[in-house]
Structure 1
Amino acid sequence: MSTILITQATLVNEGQRFEADVYIKNGRIEKIASQIDQAADQVIDAKGQILMPGMIDDQVHFRDPGLNAKGSIATESKAAVAGGTTSFMDMPNVKPATVTNAILEEKYVLGGQTSWANFSFYLGATNDNIEEVKALDPNKSCGVKIFMGASTGNMLVDREQTLTDIFTYSPTLITTHCEDTPMIQAKEAWYREKYGEDVPMIAHPEIRCREACYKSSSFAVDLAKKTGADLHILHLTTADEMALFEPGPVEGKKITAEACTHHLWFYDADYETLGSLIKCNPAIKKQSDRDAIRQAVIDGRIDIIATDHAPHTWTEKQNKYFTAPAGLPQVQQSLVSLLDLVHEGVFSLELVVQKVAHNPAIRYQIIERGFIREGYWADLVLVDMNRPHVDDKANNLYHCGWSPWEGHEFKSTVMTTIVNGEVKYHQGQFAAFTPGQRLLFDRRK
């Protein structure tokens, strides 16, 4: 493999900010020093740019296999790399659903053939696949995903004994989507009675209500405490839920929490202009909820920031409330949207790096990624914090062809993304395709 020398970069890593050169060889970071005088196949002058570890997105829906009208591992991982994501973990609600270890391994083969970034895939839980969960190799997959509300097909797990068994016997981290389905169904019936099929989009956070979120999240937390399970609750959306989690560093926690970029950015007033484009599950709620989640990121109650990237076609999103699908694409905008919040003074740059790179690596126990350290894989991103760009359709890389940020001027730009020591993206141009690597985990008992 080629060698790369990055010079005069401002590193943001492990709570520190300092200028240094970085030398990369055989895919790994060989040396970090104030000045490196060593020949390299490629030299990148990064003066004035921020160098950070690449984003590790622990929650995406890249739609492979079987849902390729919406996206694919190839298209969405390419967009992710352009956005500064170097590793991702993909969800199991595809066709066929990833609910057996055999299907899971088939998906890994697909990832190894088509993914621009490093990858891992969840095994999905069902009401009747506990033996598959028990057989999962904890060092080769990111975890088990449980849809405790709002799922497709056979993936809603709503039997209390089944949930107890999964929490008790899962050999690895459990991640959950927490909403209470009966409460949501009751709300849907009430709104359908009132509006027929013309339910306004602003009703979405009332239908996917805060009570349904809290009831499910609090049950999951209680069950994890009872069983001793390793639990990570995804995409939290309410101020009420923040009290369920302990503040402070991620190290040593058995129960952790995640927020998504869209829940840190949008709030219910945005339904007026964006409508179904920001319809997602759990729903974007009030400004006070958004602000509480932001504060929880600062306090350490929220340990990880991810995306829940979930593309749907433009045509699908033009439907009325009940038929417009939930989910939005954002891996290309996720990092720069967080950097806008840095510009606004909401978060520090060091905190963003912690939540999108360091903490996912720690919580998932990923081997040798998520930090700028000698000997670690060179998964790196260079960002110009003061180079604005407008999000527009011409530069959109998603298969679905749209973004909820379209027209917004971001204050920062991802300049270069390096995956496994290879420059995959540089100043708007992609290198020839080479696949990312399967993530590996160190979960020795």
Structure 2
Amino acid sequence: MYQKTTLIKNAKIVNEGKIVNGDILIEGEYIAKIAESISPKSADVNVFDAEGQYVLPGAIDDQVHFREPGLTHKANIETESRAAIAGGITSFIEMPNTNPQTTTVEALNDKFDRASKTAWANYSFMFGGTNDNLDEILKIDKKDVAGLKLFLGSSTGNMLVDNPEVLEKIFKSTDLLISVHCEDEATIKANLEIYKERYGDDIPVHFHPIIRSEDACYISSSKAIELAKKTGARLHVFHLSTGKETQLFDNKTPLKDKKITAEVCIHHLWFSDKDYENKGTLIKWNPAVKTEKDRDQLLKALLDDKIDVIATDHAPHTFEEKSNVYTKAPSGGPLVQHALPALLEMYHDGDISIEKIVEKFCHNPAILFEIEKRGFIKEGYYADLVMVNLNNPWTVNKDNILYKCGWSPFEGTTFKSRITHTFVNGGLAYKNFKFYDTRYAKRLTFDRD
């Protein structure tokens, strides 16, 4: 049950480029009032004293893989959405490469049904495109889903869209926002053969960013952008991993008017190729973590607004799966619990401001996907709120990792900042590693004509 009224006192409220001291009154699911000082009008009000801690809008993660249905030995909607709210992520958009793949209306509706019963964070899904499902794509109402996901490289099953005629037809035919994974498959295959000839299956993992190279990324992303410009499609390029690709994007247009946008993921902002020596296949992602120079250029493009949003690409596998030799170890790793603490660590290091973190991880996903009444701390908006203590250190270890897979690439890392409270639609869902019995999650809705 929702508290009838909740009052957060003495908060540092981070919203729209400003930090203000004040109080937040929540009535039911919504933020009713924001003011310098609000007094409770009755004894029924549930009062939280933030004691000067920061309150942020709940983060919106526009790219996760929660593995349900079909791959639930790795993860499921319930376990990973719980980990998400512990990490300050109150809304997620999940990808279509499950089993069955989300490439039919029936499979999409099944996912919505599953999430309605088990999700701890607000949810929506991407619909998947293939070489042969245009008829299904055209059935989708753009108010029903977050968007369309196309794999232009590195996909499971038959989700690689590698027919140029089909690709152009999809771009021309849909009003859905098209999100793409861009790596050129021919380039990767040629590179892989060179190293397989030399090492067999046990390729040293530090060759991963050479196999899944800068060229592979740039060839694919530049082609996708060229096609979007030709057709007028609305394109969002997922998980940039190279500095070179950032040159393809514009920072002269307000986000709400952009037709071509970009995302960077936390692992490409945190790790570099120097970390393969210690982390091995645990940091094997597609696209690959690349050089320190790439990492620095990605951060610069994020701060310069060429890159519009931050996401996780949360993609868990079991530790046993990740422990295989290079060619057998799957790419991807779990991140939703630790992405915001990692970004706050970057704030402590002077790399990014808290206001910019909120812009890229909260505001901009809401603007980009036209999500209704979320991503901001505003009166009349849903009360998705995260309280953080910037000076309460904790170390990531097996006892506090919440992912079903039980491991994290951040294991052993000490973060200075801790998520202390997470409110989802006005309900307190999480407090200091404790979850409450009630789930408050709702299906995301979209303000689209």
Which band: TM-score by shorter chain? over 0.9
1:244 partner SS: coil
Contact 2:429/2:440, CA 8 A, preserved across alignment: no
- CA deviation after TM superposition for structure 1 residue 182, in Å: 0.9
Contact 1:133/1:171, CA 8 A, preserved across alignment: no
Matched, 1:68 2:64: no
Deviations along 1:81-137, whole A, 9 cap, x unmatched?
000000000000001000011210111000100100000001000000111111111
- CA deviation after TM superposition for structure 1 residue 387, in Å: 1.1
% identical aligned pairs: 51
- CA deviation after TM superposition for structure 1 residue 42, in Å: 1.5
Matched, 1:236 2:237: no
Distance in 2 of aligned mates of 1:256 and 1:438? 24
Aligned pairs for 1:189-200 within 5 A: 189-200=193-204
Equivalent residue number for residue 280 of structure 2: 275
Deviations along 1:220-246, whole A, 9 cap, x unmatched?
000000000110000000011000000
Equivalent residue number for residue 336 of structure 1: 341
Answer with 118-127 or 34-43: which moved more. 34-43
Deviations along 1:134-186, whole A, 9 cap, x unmatched?
11111111000000000000100001111101111122100000000011011
Which amino acid is the alignment partner of residue 251 of structure 1? K
Distance in 1 of aligned mates of 2:174 and 2:16? 31
Equivalent residue number for residue 432 of structure 1: 437
Matched, 1:162 2:166: yes
Coordinate RMSD, CA, aligned: 0.8
Equivalent residue number for residue 114 of structure 1: 118
Matched, 1:25 2:27: yes
Distance in 1 of aligned mates of 2:373 and 2:200? 53
Distance in 2 of aligned mates of 1:187 and 1:313? 27
1:135 partner SS: coil
2:399 partner SS: helix
Distance in 1 of aligned mates of 2:109 and 2:249? 34
Distance in 2 of aligned mates of 1:394 and 1:71? 17
2:247 partner SS: helix
Which amino acid is the alignment partner of residue 167 of structure 2? L
Equivalent residue number for residue 82 of structure 2: 78
Matched, 1:102 2:102: no
Contact 2:266/2:312, CA 8 A, preserved across alignment: yes
Distance in 1 of aligned mates of 2:53 and 2:440? 27
Aligned pairs for 1:31-430 within 5 A: 31-38=33-40, 39=42, 40-248=44-252, 249-430=254-435
Contact 1:204/1:279, CA 8 A, preserved across alignment: yes
Query: Unpaired runs of 5+ in structure 1?
Result: none
Query: Unpaired runs of 5+ in structure 2?
Result: none
Distance in 2 of aligned mates of 1:4 and 1:431? 16
Distance in 1 of aligned mates of 2:438 and 2:162? 42
Equivalent residue number for residue 6 of structure 2: 4
Contact 1:112/1:435, CA 8 A, preserved across alignment: no
1:154 partner SS: coil
2:224 partner SS: helix
Runs of 4+ in 1 over 4 A off after TM superposition: none
Answer with 161-170 or 281-290: which moved more. 161-170
- CA deviation after TM superposition for structure 1 residue 426, in Å: 1.1
Distance in 1 of aligned mates of 2:285 and 2:432? 32
Which amino acid is the alignment partner of residue 304 of structure 1? V
Contact 2:263/2:310, CA 8 A, preserved across alignment: yes
Contact 1:136/1:171, CA 8 A, preserved across alignment: no
Distance in 1 of aligned mates of 2:417 and 2:360? 18
Distance in 1 of aligned mates of 2:91 and 2:426? 13
Question: TM-score, normalised on structure 1?
Answer: 0.99
Distance in 2 of aligned mates of 1:311 and 1:435? 24
Contact 1:113/1:435, CA 8 A, preserved across alignment: no
- CA deviation after TM superposition for structure 1 residue 434, in Å: 1.6
1:300 partner SS: coil
Q: How many residues align?
A: 444
Contact 1:138/1:443, CA 8 A, preserved across alignment: yes
Distance in 2 of aligned mates of 1:428 and 1:318? 28
Distance in 1 of aligned mates of 2:201 and 2:171? 38
- CA deviation after TM superposition for structure 1 residue 435, in Å: 4.7
Deviations along 1:385-411, whole A, 9 cap, x unmatched?
111111111001000000000011001
Distance in 1 of aligned mates of 2:165 and 2:47? 58
Contact 1:271/1:278, CA 8 A, preserved across alignment: yes
Distance in 2 of aligned mates of 1:322 and 1:253? 38
Which amino acid is the alignment partner of residue 14 of structure 1? E
Distance in 1 of aligned mates of 2:236 and 2:438? 33
Answer with 262-271 or 166-175: which moved more. 166-175
Distance in 2 of aligned mates of 1:167 and 1:366? 22
Deviations along 1:189-223, whole A, 9 cap, x unmatched?
11000111220000000010110100000000000
Contact 1:147/1:176, CA 8 A, preserved across alignment: yes
Distance in 1 of aligned mates of 2:194 and 2:78? 41
Contact 2:424/2:440, CA 8 A, preserved across alignment: no
Deviations along 1:287-344, whole A, 9 cap, x unmatched?
0000000000100011000000000001011100000000010100000100001111
- CA deviation after TM superposition for structure 1 residue 427, in Å: 2.0
Answer with 420-429 or 302-311: which moved more. 420-429
